[in-house]
Each structure stands twice: as structure tokens, then as C-alpha cells.
Structure 1
Amino acid sequence: MRAVTWQGKRDVRLETVPDPRIEEPTDAVIRVTSTGLCGSDLHLYEVFTPFMTPGDVLGHEPMGIVEEVGADVTGLAPGDRVVVPFQIACGHCWMCTSGLPTQCETTQVTEEGMGAALFGYSRLYGSVPGGQAEYLRVPQAQFGPIKVPAGPPDDRFLYLSDVLPTAWQAVRYAAVPPGGSVAVLGLGPIGDMCCRIALHQGAAQVIGIDLVRERLQRAKARGVEVFDLTGHDSQDDLVEAVKAHTRGRGPDAVIDAVGTEAHGSPLARTQQQAAGLLPKAWAAKLHQKAGTDRLAALYLAIALVRRGGTISLSGVYGGAADPLPLMSLFDKQIQLRMGQANVRRWVDDILPLLTDDDPLGVDGFATHHVPLADAPHAYKMFQHKEDGVVKVVMHP
């Protein structure tokens, strides 16, 4: 089959790889019909390269048609249409039954000290072949895949794999009070959807902050109050401008939907680039022991949120030695919540919204649909924020 493979820093290629097959009785194999390109994929493209191996199959946002199921998979049958969550979880361990499938005790990558295995996401998360491919082996298929009805286009359901539950959890973790305010940092796919969900759930004021004109315009068109990072002389200037629009206190909650590749962190960016020049084994050890993130977005969140407010982190961070302003966090009595989205925990809340009324605008959410063969260009375009790109969907 054809699949998108990682070959090196900023180097992805469409190659022929072995077809997946049933290896365990809890496996399924699906024929992929649509697969998303996620901002987290760009971390592998640029930052987390020490944990990648040439030939790794990328992607963790697939959906498609079941081709084959293992003997212990009773809830699926060939021909079923399914969305595959990005995490691999069993559904029956203590963590899964506690609503934390991202910490699944059956699939935890204990040798790396990490949580549940993820599709297409480096050796840190199990080196499981991903979904930017023509076919996908799905471990723990007795629990993971979400059956969806035939008929509507893939875009109606595809985002159940990651974007929708990640944004939904980010908004829930933000705990915006009734009639309250929330600021969303970064208006890429997750931040954009966070704004939509916060408005849908009744936030009185949703503020979107970014520096890409097309993203700001897209959010503004849906009723978001937007602030352009480039229109302010300093972070302090932006903070004061937002406070002026939130009764002088700052928003009740801030969602950081940016993560480790934030603009405005030149020193950390230089450190990440320098680590990429080291031999892979050394770079991996450095990242795990002394790695730092580009923390501009997190620092901004801490400065923006009102005293006693909540910061919700959905952007991926991976640094082991990040310097945090703990005095400010403590003094402002800030609540901080974070983590990978627990996809299956939120599916029942989200599915009723994927109707013909389409209140979250999923049908038109993707800005670009491309064939799988265009993956190398799509990664580059997404990395450089070209051509108004917000969300790319690829089709094998």
C-alpha cells in the first residue's frame, strides 16, 4: 500500500510499505477514506525528530471502512464505516473506565514512561504505524473505532478522531462560568474549534488571538472577538488591550492551543534547532533531560487570565526543563488543566451535534482537500501557514 512516511527533519514522502494485517484477535484493518493533517504532526516534522525512525508511517486522524476484524472484535463487521481515535485504548482497564483512555494501562508505553500508545506518533508513543495511508491496522478495535452512519461526507465525522474531542475537552477543562469569557491562543484547527464550541456552549465572550490574517478573519466571521498579535508593540500592550475588553480583569479562562512551537520564543527555538544537529541518540537524551519548549503562548496565557481563573492547555508541550513562573501562577491562584484528549469520553456529547444543522461548521471546516500523493507539499504548506491553510484533509 501507499503511505506517508517520515524520512528526516522536514522530509516526508509517499512510499510503498507492507499492507497491514490482523496480528492480534483484538485487531481490525480498515480501508482509509479520509485522514487529517494535524498540528501535532508538525512537531514530528520539526521538533521531535530524535524520536523518529526513517520509514515511520505518520498520521493519527483517520476514518474509513472496516475490511477485516479479529476473532475477539464483536462490535464491528466488514463494511462498517468508522472513525478511529488517535489514541489506542482497551476500554476495560482502570484508567479507561475512569474516563482516561489516554492513560490506558493496557497500551501504556512504559518503556518510555509515557501514556497510551498513539497512531503515527514516534517511539515515545509506541511506534504504531499511522493513518496517512491506504490501509490501517487498528489495535484494540473492540473499543476504539467509532461507528458512524453511511451517507454524509467524511468531513461530517472525521474530526471525531482528534479535533472535536481535543477542542471539547479543552473547553470543558477551561471551566468557563455561565456568561463568562474565554481567550483562545492560536486559531489553527484546535483553537478555531475551541472558539466554536465555547460559543455553542454559551460563553458570553470568546476572544481569539493569532498572527495569521486568514485565521483571524475566519474566527471573526463566526462571532469571535479577535486580536492580532502583530498589531501590538509588546505582550504587555496586548494584555492591557484584552483586559480593557474584559472589565479590566482579564478573561475568566484562557485556552493555549499553540504549544511547543509558539512564535516569540527565539532562544528555545535555537535550542531545539541545535539539538536537531546532534546524533539522534544524544538529541533524544538531551530532549528528555533538558529539553525546553517555546513557552511564549503559555507565558501569555498566565499574563492574560484573571486572578482565580483557569488555563487549559491543549497545545502539545514536551520539554523536561521548562522554566515556569510559579510565583505568578500561585499568586494569581490560577487553576491549570492539561493533557491529551480522552476521545471516547466525549463522543456521546459531540455526536448529537453532527447533524444536518451542523452547528459547529464541520462540513466546511477543512480549507484544503488533497490526494495522499500531495502530502509532502501539504506538510510544507501547513508548516509555513501558506495559502490560508487551517485544516488539510487527505484522501488515499
Structure 2
Amino acid sequence: MRALRWHGKHDVRCDTVPDPVIEDGRDAIVKVSTCAICGSDLHLFDGLMPTMEHGDILGHEFMGEVVEVGRETRNLKPGDRVVVPFTIVCGECDQCMRGNFSVCERSNRNREKAEKVFGHTTAGLFGYSHLTGGYAGGQAEYVRVPFAERTHIKVPDGLSDERLLFLSDILPTGWQAAVQCEIQPTDTVAIWGAGPVGQMAVRSAVMLGAKQVIVIDRVPERLVMASGGGAIPINFDEESVLDRLKELTNGKGPEKCIDAVGMESHVSRSLDSMYDRVKQAVMLETDRPHVLREMIYVCRPAGTLSIPGVYGGVLDKIPFGAAMNKGLTFRMGQTHVNRWTSDLLRRIEEGQIDPSFVITHTVPLEEGPAMYKTFREKADGCIKVVLKP
């Protein structure tokens, strides 16, 4: 089969590799009909995530048709149409029983590595380094899905792949980011980053009844798209984020703040943003947390910071004293995809949201390596790339 593989920083290739096979009775093999490049994939592309190995198959947003199942997989059969969550879940451990699927205690087959870095294991993830299990990803013609009885979302015929695909990641990620804010009708929600997750967070915050939603970015196409979803845009290249937020909130600051950027923050030309670049370049910190600092500073006292943006390692100069003394609540984590998908699928079917609005480029899988570069550079108006194997 053909698959997109990581061969080092800024080196993704479309290679021919062996087809996956059933390795465990709980497996299924899915023939991929549609997949996508996620902003989180750029952390791998830029060489920022540890434990990647040459030849790793990328991708964690994909869907398709079941073509084979293991003998212990009873609720799937060949021909079933499924979206596959990016989190691999057993459905039986204590965390899964609590609905905390992204910290499944059994699905990470490299749990010892995760425990050394994080203290406890995380769930296994598709196509996202050997720290999260080293599982082959979905930017391929076929994928082996472990724990397939639980690691799938069965979807109906009659809805296009493009409307359903993002149940795998960015739609529930944006939704969880907004839900974690516990939005009240009087709340202003400020969202840093108008990439795909930020776009879904905008729509989610509007659906959950925020008084006003504000989005901060520098890319005009992203800001226009977010405005179409009901957000007030701030272009940080053209105006002061702090001054504009004060103006929009009568000097009080937003009650709820969402970081949809994560470790590769570009959302400033300030001194501390340049400081992060220097520290990262000389390996004195792994991530650039400018957005996190800015949210702590501007959030209204007793407010909430929701962090769906991915962080991978060690941060520097976080103003934790300000966060403590302002009484801020932090809520964060990889997405508990299966917790939200039934409700979100219903909303798609009812027409409350059509996630396909975010797609700007659809290309064959073979063009994936070039599209990684286009997506990273935000060239050609690129916001979301869909690939067709």
C-alpha cells in the first residue's frame, strides 16, 4: 500500500509499505477513504516531538470501510463505515469507565516511556510517536485499528466523508475546549489561534451560548473564516491584543480563554515570543508558550483557561503567581473523543454544524508531502488539507 512516512524534520514521503494485518483478536483493518493533515502533525513535521523513528506512518484523522476483523471483535463487520478516533481506547480500564478516554491505561503499548516522561501513561495515539505507542497512522490506504470494538465511531450512509471525518479529532477537540469553559450567557470567550481546532472552538462556543466570541490570529483567511462563524477577529499584526480585548470587555478581560495554538506559538512579535524562539533554538526549553502567558495575563480573575493546544515538554517563565492569585482554573488535555461523538454526530445529522466548512484543499494521498509544506507555510489560503488515498 501507499502511505505518508516521516523520515526526519521536514521530510515526509509517500512510500510503498506492506499492508497491515490482524495482529490481535481485538483488531480491525480499515480501508481508508479519506484522511487529513492536522496541525498537530506539524509538530512532527518540524521535529519537535521526541521518539519519532524513520519510516513511521503519519496521520490520526481518518475514516473508511472495515475490510477485516479479528475473532474477538464482535460489533464490527466488513463493510461497516467508520470514523476512527485519534485516541486508541480499551473501554474497560478505570479511566475509560470514567470517560477519560485520552488517558486510557491499557492502549499505549509503550507505557513505560510515557510514564518516564509524564509520570503516568497516556492512551495510545495513531501516528504520533513511540511515546504514545508507535502505532501506524491513517495517512495511508489501510490501517490496523487496535481495540477496534471501542476505537471506532460507526457512521451512517448518506452523509459525505467530508462532513463526518472531523469527528476523529478537530470537531470534538474544539467542542471539548469550549465545554471545559463551562460557558455562561454572560461570558466572553477569547480563542487564540484560528486554525482548524480554533475554527471548531469558535462554532462550539457560539452553539454553547457565549455572549461574544473573539479570535486572535494573523492569517487573513483564517480570520475571515472565524468571522463567518460568529467571532470578532483580532489580527495581532495590526493591533494590540491586550488593548482590543480591554475594549471589547469594558476593561474586565474575557472570562474564558482557549489556547488553540500550543507548543509552536507564533501569535506575537513581543519580546517574550522572541525569547521563546531563542530558548528553543538552544534547547533550553522545548515549547513556545507565549499564548499561555498572554492568556494568564488577560483572563478575568476567577476565569478559566482551556488548553486543547498540544504541549510536548518543558516550558519557561510561566507567570504561575499571577494565575494563582487571580484564582484561574486550568483545564486541558488530549480529547476524550468518544465522550462527545454521539452528540456531535446528532448535531451534524440535524444540520446544526457542517464541519466541512474548514476544508480548503483536497488532494490525492500522493500529493501529501507537498501539502505538508503548504499547510505549514499557510500558503495558498490553506487552512485544512484533506487527502484521498
Counterpart for residue 267 of structure 1: 275
Which string of whole-angstrom CA distances, capped at 9 and with x for unpartnered residues, describes residues 89-118 of structure 1?
100111001011111111134211240110
Counterpart for residue 386 of structure 2: 393
Aligned to 2:180, the other structure's residue is in SS state: helix
Contact 1:177–1:252, Cα closer than 8 Å, also in 2: no
Counterpart for residue 22 of structure 1: 22
Of 242, 246, 249, which residue of structure 1 is paired with 2:249?
A: 246
Aligned to 1:375, the other structure's residue is in SS state: helix
Amino acid at match of 1:154: D
Matched, 1:190 2:197: yes
Which string of whole-angstrom CA distances, capped at 9 and with x for unpartnered residues, describes residues 286-306 of structure 1?
xxxx64310111111112211
Of 281, 295, 300, which residue of structure 2 is paired with 1:306?
A: 300
Matched, 1:124 2:131: yes
- 1:42-57 alignment, distance < 5 Å: 42-48=42-48, 50-57=50-57
State the 1:135 CA deviation.
Answer: 0.2
Evaluate the alpha carbon distance shift between residue 247 and residue 383 of structure 1 in structure 2; reply closer, same or farther with a 3 A threshold.
Answer: same
The alignment covers a number of residue pairs equal to: 377
Counterpart for residue 176 of structure 1: 183
Counterpart for residue 362 of structure 1: 355
State the 1:126 CA deviation.
Answer: 1.0
Residues 102-111 or 187-196, more deviating: 102-111
**4+ residue runs of structure 1 moved beyond 3 angstroms?**
270-275
Amino acid at match of 2:20: P
- 1:322-333 alignment, distance < 5 Å: 322-333=316-327
State the 1:319 CA deviation.
Answer: 2.1
State the 1:271 CA deviation.
Answer: 4.0
Aligned to 1:195, the other structure's residue is in SS state: helix
Question: How far apart, CA to CA, are the structure 2 residues paired with 1:246 and 1:271?
Answer: 34
- 1:277-296 alignment, distance < 5 Å: 291-296=285-290
Matched, 1:65 2:65: yes
Of 369, 384, 393, which residue of structure 1 is paired with 2:377?
A: 384
Question: How far apart, CA to CA, are the structure 2 residues paired with 1:352 and 1:390?
Answer: 25
Of 211, 214, 222, which residue of structure 1 is paired with 2:221?
A: 214
State the 1:240 CA deviation.
Answer: 2.4
Amino acid at match of 1:157: L
State the 1:347 CA deviation.
Answer: 1.1
Which string of whole-angstrom CA distances, capped at 9 and with x for unpartnered residues, describes residues 273-293 of structure 1?
445xxxxxxxxxxxxxx6431
State the 1:268 CA deviation.
Answer: 2.9
Contact 2:171–2:355, Cα closer than 8 Å, also in 1: no
Gaps of at least 5 residues in structure 1 are 276-289
Question: How far apart, CA to CA, are the structure 2 residues paired with 1:380 and 1:274?
Answer: 24
State the 1:201 CA deviation.
Answer: 1.4
Question: How far apart, CA to CA, are the structure 2 residues paired with 1:381 and 1:218?
Answer: 18
Evaluate the alpha carbon distance shift between residue 313 and residue 252 of structure 1 in structure 2; reply closer, same or farther with a 3 A threshold.
Answer: same
State the 1:49 CA deviation.
Answer: 5.0
Contact 1:197–1:360, Cα closer than 8 Å, also in 2: no
State the 1:346 CA deviation.
Answer: 0.8
User: How large is the RMSD of aligned CA atoms in angstroms?
Assistant: 1.4
Identity rate of aligned residues, in percent? 46
Question: How far apart, CA to CA, are the structure 2 residues paired with 1:317 and 1:347?
Answer: 24
Aligned to 1:174, the other structure's residue is in SS state: coil
Question: How far apart, CA to CA, are the structure 1 residues paired with 2:181 and 2:9?
Answer: 34
State the 1:50 CA deviation.
Answer: 4.0
Question: How far apart, CA to CA, are the structure 2 residues paired with 1:20 and 1:58?
Answer: 14
TM-score of the two chains, using structure 2 as the length reference: 0.94
Counterpart for residue 280 of structure 1: none
State the 1:151 CA deviation.
Answer: 2.1
Of 208, 224, 232, which residue of structure 2 is paired with 1:201?
A: 208
State the 1:356 CA deviation.
Answer: 5.6
Amino acid at match of 1:27: D
Question: How far apart, CA to CA, are the structure 2 residues paired with 1:321 and 1:331?
Answer: 20
Contact 1:9–1:49, Cα closer than 8 Å, also in 2: no
Evaluate the alpha carbon distance shift between residue 361 and residue 179 of structure 1 in structure 2; reply closer, same or farther with a 3 A threshold.
Answer: farther
Counterpart for residue 96 of structure 1: 96
State the 1:322 CA deviation.
Answer: 3.1
Which string of whole-angstrom CA distances, capped at 9 and with x for unpartnered residues, describes residues 117-173 of structure 1?
100001111110000000000000011111001122101110010011111110011
Residues 261-270 or 21-30, more deviating: 261-270
State the 1:47 CA deviation.
Answer: 3.6
State the 1:220 CA deviation.
Answer: 1.1
Which string of whole-angstrom CA distances, capped at 9 and with x for unpartnered residues, describes residues 351-388 of structure 1?
1111262x323233211111100111110011111111
State the 1:314 CA deviation.
Answer: 0.6
State the 1:340 CA deviation.
Answer: 0.1
Counterpart for residue 118 of structure 2: none
Counterpart for residue 282 of structure 1: none
Residues 346-355 or 123-132, more deviating: 346-355
Amino acid at match of 1:371: P
Question: How far apart, CA to CA, are the structure 1 residues paired with 2:77 and 2:146?
Answer: 15
Amino acid at match of 2:382: V
Of 328, 337, 344, which residue of structure 2 is paired with 1:334?
A: 328
Evaluate the alpha carbon distance shift between residue 49 and residue 94 of structure 1 in structure 2; reply closer, same or farther with a 3 A threshold.
Answer: closer
TM-score of the two chains, using structure 1 as the length reference: 0.92
Question: How far apart, CA to CA, are the structure 2 residues paired with 1:220 and 1:24?
Answer: 47
